[in-house]
């Protein structure tokens, strides 16, 4: 059996503006992950077994634009494997879907690496990242590439679209509480709506994106200087700009307020918005209190993660 695993991720700063060339910061979340196991199958063809999404099917029965089919076919092409091998690919994931934790990219990265292990192929991180990015385009339309990058490299990243990856040196670890609104929100839709806003008044929205870019740069400095508390106010300002962009929601806003009133240093939505997850920067001793308050106010799930 060949196996591979990929973590989830959260965006700390810069979502949406990153699609327009501004920097964003994202970190892996290892508490959630996608695990892929590949075994020799019987008969012919590739069988997919993904119990979390109640999917059990032959690969050939999926539509040609299905991201699972696409990542498997693209990877086999990369390895110059033309005949359809007899395999069972089992996908197990604890990353909630459509909630800003990078489930789609994690599935792609884990499948690519499991197939590489199965066929004894060496594949470097850049190639994994590129393949996963090609598949992200099917999920999102115009993705920046931040999800596949942070998940492939599994390190905190300072990301600028189409620029070489820059990993972040975290001088002092900091603690984030992640809370899920439980509302599924496809990123493609919020990205499309921001595109419409931008098209209606590019000058105005370019200025907003500039401000978000400045926030991401300031946050990088704070992280690299070990001044993590400085990120609290930066998160609050970033959240206000995301609200202006109409990608927050009453549920996200409520959890942001609850996080702040229960002791967080700062809080904001994370990812595409409109639902999915929010994040709160906390002193380690406050993590449990903030997480409880969020659950008490309707969060479906919370994860406490230390970024280091
Ligand atoms: O919803 P997520 O976590 O996949 O993040 C999307 C981030 C956006 O900036 C909104 C889109 C993108 O492609 O970067």
**What is the residue extent of each domain of the chain?**
2-159, 169-307
Which of 20, 21, 143, 180 has most ligand 1 atoms within 8 Å of its beta carbon, as the pocket-test mutant? 143
Do the beta carbons of residue 279 and residue 178 sit within 8 Å?
yes
CA dist 235 and 188 (Å) reads 23
Give the C-alpha separation, 230 to 224, whole Å.
12
The best mutation among 271, 273, 276, 279 to test binding of ligand 1, ranked by most ligand atoms within 8 Å of the C-beta, falls on 271
pLDDT in the model for residue 83: 78
Q: How far is CA 47 from the centre of its chain?
A: 26
Q: State the DSSP code for 274.
A: S
Of the chain, the percentage scoring pLDDT greater than 70 comes to 100
Q: Can you tell me which atom of ligand 1 is nearest the CA of 143?
A: 13
pLDDT per residue as tens, the chain (308 positions): 999 999 999 999 999 999 999 999 999 999 999 999 999 977 789 999 999 999 999 999 999 989 999 999 999 999 999 877 899 999 999 999 888 899 999 999 999 999 999 999 999 999 999 999 999 988 777 899 999 999 999 999 999 999 999 999 999 999 999 999 999 988 889 999 999 999 999 999 999 999 999 999 999 999 999 999 999 999 999 999 999 999 999 999 999 999 999 999 999 999 999 999 999 999 999 999 999 999 999 999 999 999 99
Instruction: Give the separation between CA 2 and CA 95, rounded to whole angstroms.
Output: 21
Structure confidence at residue 141 (pLDDT): 75
pLDDT for 21 equals 97
Pick from 107, 11, 12: which is nearest to 52 by CA? 107
Pick the CATH number of 2-159 from 3.90.79.10, 3.40.50.1010, 3.30.230.10, 3.40.50.1460: 3.30.230.10
**pLDDT computed for residue 97 by the predictor:** 87
Query: Which residues neighbour 164 within 8 Å (Cβ) at sequence distance 6 or greater?
Result: none
Q: Whose CA is nearest to atom 5 of ligand 1?
A: 271
Distance 16 CA to ligand 1 centre (A): 6
Query: Which residues lie across from 175 on neighbouring strands?
Result: 282, 306
Second CATH level (architecture) for the domain 169-307? 2-Layer Sandwich (3.30)
Crossing angle of helices 231-244/202-225, nearest 10°? Answer: 160
- Residues in a beta bridge with 156: none
Task: Give residue 116's pLDDT.
Answer: 97
SS3 content of the chain, % helix, strand, coil (to 5): 45, 25, 30
Q: What pLDDT does residue 139 have?
A: 72
């Amino acid at each position: 059996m060949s196996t591979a695993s990929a973590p989830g991720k959260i965006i700390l700063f810069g979502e949406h503006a990153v699609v327009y060339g501004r920097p964003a910061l994202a970190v892996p979340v290892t508490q959630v992950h996608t695990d892929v196991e590949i075994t020799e199958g019987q008969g012919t063809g590739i069988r997919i077994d993904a119990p979390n999404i109640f999917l059990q099917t032959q690969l050939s029965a999926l539509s040609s634009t299905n991201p699972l089919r696409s990542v498997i076919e693209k990877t086999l092409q990369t390895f110059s494997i033309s005949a359809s091998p007899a395999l069972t690919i089992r996908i197990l994931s604890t990353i909630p879907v459509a909630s800003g934790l990078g489930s789609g990219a994690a599935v792609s990265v884990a499948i690519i690496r499991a197939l590489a292990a199965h066929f004894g192929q060496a594949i470097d991180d850049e190639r994994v990242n590129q393949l996963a990015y090609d598949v992200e385009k099917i999920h999102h339309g115009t993705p920046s590439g931040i999800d596949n990058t942070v998940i492939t490299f599994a390190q905190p990243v300072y990301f600028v679209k189409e620029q070489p990856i820059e990993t972040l040196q975290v001088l002092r670890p900091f603690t984030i509480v992640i809370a899920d609104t439980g509302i599924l929100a496809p990123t493609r839709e919020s990205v499309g709506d921001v595109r419409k806003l931008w098209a209606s008044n590019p000058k105005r929205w370019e200025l907003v994106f500039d401000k978000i870019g400045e926030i991401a740069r300031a946050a990088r400095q704070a992280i690299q200087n070990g001044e993590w508390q400085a990120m609290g106010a930066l998160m609050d300002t970033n959240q206000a700009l995301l609200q202006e962009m109409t990608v927050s929601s009453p549920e996200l806003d409520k959890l942001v307020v609850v996080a702040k009133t229960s002791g967080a240093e700062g809080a904001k939505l994370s990812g595409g918005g409109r639902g999915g997850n929010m994040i709160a920067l906390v002193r380690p001793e406050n993590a449990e209190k903030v997480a409880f308050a969020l659950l008490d106010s309707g969060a479906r799930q919370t994860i406490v993660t230390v970024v280091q």
